[in-house]
Structure 1
């Protein structure tokens, strides 16, 4: 009798540990990396392929915010706009600068983008940040640079991956 009880207990424990395998789709718990590529449908809703200024989008947090990167190669400037979750409106934040971190020749480099408030931004806040350092623009295009945008919104730190792609046929990487 003890053997039968023991065998039943072992079998029950085996099934409870193994459980059933769900054939449904796998669900990722972490947010996907931010990208400037087109988002067609993520988590059941559409994403714009570019920001209101025709720049690439960077996801911040679990789509709590977005940032838009506009790179003007002619003058060597990089502008970041802080946007709402839908990536449709600028959101002014309490920062005088934000940072883009890159890898260059195996070493980390940081570039500050200085607040350049739009006329509609309230006093002491900015939704637009600019760098005129041409080196930053060059590094965004380098293979392996792995650029990251770092900023704080309402006391919470955000980090977004920048994938800076070009449609230029004559542009070498």
Structure 2
């Protein structure tokens, strides 16, 4: 009788499927899916505390915030959340850019904020109208370079033309 083994197999499969459909998910499966959702929902800061352009340094380990008017440029070194200043052991940071196809390098000197520890700075400045006038030019491809704790970081300065441009004008710039 071949029908009997077939019937037993069908009944066994039916029992397995029925048990699987009525089982509740375990807490472990539920919490791991919540962890995945948390990792996928990652807010990227869009503006720094000084209302400047943010520059990602490393894998968002740090941020640089570039603020300028038509005469000077200031860079603030910020934490991974781009909310707090991070004083670093450096006397300068560098901005490299192209001006009419020619590479130029600008050194911004340490200008410690009140509260920065002695010998460290979270703010770097340079009064240079040439740098200030070309930092927003997309063809200049400006990059911020600095060293934090012995590790060199480099990030692209991408000016967001979608925000309000208070604090600096763009006369003579292509937008």
* TM-score, normalised by the number of residues in structure 2: 0.69
What is the RMSD of the two structures over their aligned residues, measured on CA atoms?
1.8
From the CA coordinates, give the structure whose radius of gyration is larger: 2
Offset, 1:165: 3.6
Offset, 1:104: 1.0
Structure 2 residue aligned with 1:56, among 44, 53, 58?
Answer: 53
Structure 1 residue aligned with 2:68, among 34, 47, 71?
Answer: 71
Aligned length: 130
Q: Deviations over 1:128-173 (max 9, x none)?
A: 0001111001111324100000000000000000012445597432
1 or 2, which has the higher helix percentage? 2
Aligned to 2:103: 108
Gaps of 5+ in 2: 1-38
Structure 1 residue aligned with 2:44, among 42, 47, 69?
Answer: 47
Q: Deviations over 1:24-63 (max 9, x none)?
A: xxxxxxxxxxxxxxxxxx9531122200111111100001
Mapped to 1, the partners of 2:52 and 2:136 lie a distance apart of 15
Matched, 1:146 2:109: no
* TM-score, normalised by the number of residues in structure 1: 0.70
Aligned to 2:120: 125
